[in-house]
Structure 1
Amino acid sequence: MARPPGPSVRLRLTLSYAGFVLVAGAGLLAVVWVFLLRYVPDEAGSTSGPGAPDGGFGSTFMPGRSDLWDAFAPKAALMMGLLLVVGLAGGWVLAGRMLAPLDRITAATRSAGSGALDHRIRLSGRNDEFRELADAFDAMLERLERHVAEQQRFAANASHELRTPLAITQTLLDVAAKDPDPDVDLLVERLRTVNTRAIDLTEALLVLSRADQRSFERGPVDLSLLAEEAAEVLLPLAEERGVTITTAGEAAATSGSRALLLQLITNLLHNAIVHNLPSGGSAWVTTRTTSSGVALVVENTGDRLDRLLVDTLAEPFRRGSGRLHDDHGGVGLGLAIVQRIAAAHDGTLSLDPRPGGGLVATMSLPRR
């Protein structure tokens, strides 16, 4: 937005400082003037000592107020001029030193505006308002740089994942075009499978975007009821995989989007079912209240997982060992969506390897 030019902050501070010095000096001179007036008569005259003749030995001359003004005014004017010079010069130097950190902050802001997010102010000195501003700006740049890098990786991974079903579709069509007697039913079935996967991936990306933008209405939600609903929906898949689902716990009231929180719990439970033991596995869903809010814990049996591997499972399109594509393997966004939905509801997601094998996912949300 175009704005008319104005005086700099340094000039305004200098004028303010000089004005304050002048006012203080004028006040001091006024006090001195009033003090002197108490001991000076209105008119000039002389006084004589006891027994002395008029104007003779022992007489003393007493100046009047007019004489005092003639002597006091030039000195006061000279003093005010000196105070003005000192105030302007001292104010300019002091304002420059005080505003020096702002020059570094402004340079860092312009550098960040041009795309250089790796620049940091790193203001030294004691902790004051400028130091707090610089530290806050450095922290913001660090978060922004990390977020941009994450979005770039996500865009690259999403493009790769979306290109895969399109490339498979193109290959199937090319093979069918060269085959003089193609199996149409088999081709349609394969295309349907590839298309379904592309739709699932697109819907997952939309859910992820919706959670990031926080474009949803909040309302009262009970996590225990959503856990039972998710378990009922995924019961056929659990029976097919030979996994036993157990839900337990107390009412856990929070506030948020019912649809997104149901998607969160469904993703966690789906992950617990799919990445479980080949047969005879178990998955537990527990809700509870804590001193700071409510929590939902999804625990499952399975292979032993390394701590470093578990720390990367919530990243988009990251899969652990054995987490390959199959009929129910998902698109690699399940835990990433869970983490984003939890963050959009001011909550957190923590993943920990289960001591006996498997994974423990704990989601914490504020209490309603």
Structure 2
Amino acid sequence: MGRTPGVSVRFKLTLSYAAFLMLAGTLLLLVVWVFLLRYVPEEIQIQPRSSPNHVATGASSSAPGSVRPLFVPNRSDLVRAFVPKAAVVLIFLLVFGLVGGWLLAGRILAPLTRITDATRLAATGSLSHRIRLAGHEDEFRELADAFDAMLARLEAHVREQRRFAANASHELRTPLAITRTLLDVARKDPNRDTDELIDRLHAVNTRAVGLTEALLVLSRADQRSFTPEHVDLSLVAEEATETLLPLAEKRGVRIETSGDVTPTIGSRTLLLQLTTNLVHNAIVHNLSEQGRVWITASVHGRGVALTVENTGENLPPELVATLVEPFLRGTERTATDHAGVGLGLAIVNSITRAHDGTLSLTPRAAGGLRVTVRLPAAPPDRHEAKRDHS
């Protein structure tokens, strides 16, 4: 955006320093005038030694035989001697203030120049540059450190987005490539079973639609484009459990829920998606027989927590740390019949961050995974508080 060129901050500071120095010098000269020259009379006469204690002011005596008085410098003489030198001093202070102020302002604004250069580099896309301002802790050092931290977060975010875009492109390209292959084979083989082709195309299309919807949910969570409302996590967990209960019965997994009222603020739709993903993940990645899932909602001080545990295979900590990465499904990227699109925990992580919460994943000693989502608790409703008080 074009703007009219203005006066630099260094020049403004220089004028400010010089003006302050001139003001201080002028005040000092005024003090000298008030406390010295003000009490000097216009004319001073000293009488002869015969009357040493008598000092006359004004016109000289014309009595016969009087001694000619001795004149000392009066106010006019001091003014004539003082004013030229005061003017010279003020001119010197002006020049000294301009030169010294220019040098001092340049030295003070040097860190700001480095921050500005780093900003221009970041604007061109170079996010790896860091200011690393040396010296003691002050306002400029604090600004430079904050800017370095911002650049580090931006660089990590851009790197994550690029990796995510590459993975998403790969995942979206796979069903399209399978669809094209199936159609090419069907076109070359007119006698191929049409029902089998339709079933396979339907499965591939369903997977592509599921991936697209997951990407949309992930984008919505990252942008925080939702209206906050009061949500009870325990009720959301019960709804997600009822929805996935047929899948759990089909796979022989037993689900147990417990907990108190856990009020929070956020999007009920996104929090339901979060809980559904956690419960679905716990059901799918479980033991082949007699699997268990525990869902607990609890309140801790000013926060609420939703914990989902499941039995399963022993998971190394280094693998658990990567489960929130998009398109990672356990130890492989290859999907099975029940693995989904590899965005379940990534969506959970994004929804949690969008609600100013934290997500923690820890392997269970007996096998399986424990996932805990911590969110800020909702403030007590005023109307409910009045009813309870009454």
Deviations along 1:7-39, one digit per CA (max 9) or x if unpaired, are 111111000000000000000000001112243
Kept after mapping to 2: 8 A contact 1:226/1:265: yes
Partner of 2:7: 7
1:363 maps to 2:373: yes
Q: Secondary structure at the match of 1:126?
A: coil
**Unpaired stretches in structure 2, ≥5 consecutive residues:** 52-64, 379-390
TM-score when scaled to structure 2? 0.91
Distance 1:77 1:145 in 2: 59
Kept after mapping to 2: 8 A contact 1:288/1:295: yes
Distance 1:146 1:180 in 2: 52
Change (3 A) 1:338 1:290: same
Partner of 1:315: 325
Kept after mapping to 2: 8 A contact 1:223/1:252: yes
Partner of 1:221: 231
1:288 maps to 2:298: yes
Percent sequence identity over aligned pairs: 65
Distance 1:330 1:64 in 2: 104
Change (3 A) 1:222 1:148: same
Q: Secondary structure at the match of 1:234?
A: helix
Q: Which amino acid aligns with 1:345?
A: H
- How far apart are 1:323 and its partner, in Å? 7.3
Distance 2:16 2:30 in 1: 21
Kept after mapping to 1: 8 A contact 2:327/2:333: no
Partner of 1:345: 355
Partner of 1:179: 189
Partner of 1:237: 247
- How far apart are 1:362 and its partner, in Å? 0.3
TM-score when scaled to structure 1? 0.97
Q: Which amino acid aligns with 1:204?
A: A
Among candidates 148, 163, 172, match of residue 153 of structure 1: 163
Deviations along 1:274-305, one digit per CA (max 9) or x if unpaired, are 00001111000000000230000000000000
- How far apart are 1:177 and its partner, in Å? 0.9
Partner of 1:330: 340
Partner of 1:257: 267
Q: Secondary structure at the match of 1:165?
A: helix
Deviations along 1:48-77, one digit per CA (max 9) or x if unpaired, are 243177445xx5423332222111100100
Q: Which amino acid aligns with 1:164?
A: T
RMSD: 1.3
Distance 1:109 1:353 in 2: 43
Partner of 1:47: 46
Distance 1:71 1:198 in 2: 96
Among candidates 279, 286, 289, match of residue 276 of structure 1: 286
Distance 2:90 2:192 in 1: 103
- How far apart are 1:149 and its partner, in Å? 0.4
Kept after mapping to 2: 8 A contact 1:249/1:288: yes
Among candidates 163, 179, 185, match of residue 173 of structure 2: 163
Among candidates 88, 105, 113, match of residue 103 of structure 1: 113
Distance 1:194 1:92 in 2: 71
Distance 1:129 1:330 in 2: 50
Distance 2:164 2:44 in 1: 97
Distance 1:239 1:15 in 2: 81
Kept after mapping to 1: 8 A contact 2:48/2:67: no
Kept after mapping to 2: 8 A contact 1:275/1:323: no
**Aligned pairs, number:** 365
Distance 1:348 1:185 in 2: 47
Q: Which amino acid aligns with 2:265?
A: S
- How far apart are 1:201 and its partner, in Å? 0.2
Change (3 A) 1:100 1:15: same
- How far apart are 1:322 and its partner, in Å? 6.6
**Unpaired stretches in structure 1, ≥5 consecutive residues:** none
1:200 maps to 2:210: yes
Q: Secondary structure at the match of 1:221?
A: strand
- How far apart are 1:86 and its partner, in Å? 1.1
Distance 2:369 2:47 in 1: 111
Deviations along 1:176-223, one digit per CA (max 9) or x if unpaired, are 111130100000000000000000000000000000110011100000
Change (3 A) 1:55 1:117: farther
> Residues 103-142 of structure 1: matches in 2 within 5 Å?
103-142=113-152
Q: Which amino acid aligns with 2:16?
A: S
Distance 1:64 1:304 in 2: 104
Partner of 1:191: 201
Q: Which amino acid aligns with 1:262?
A: L
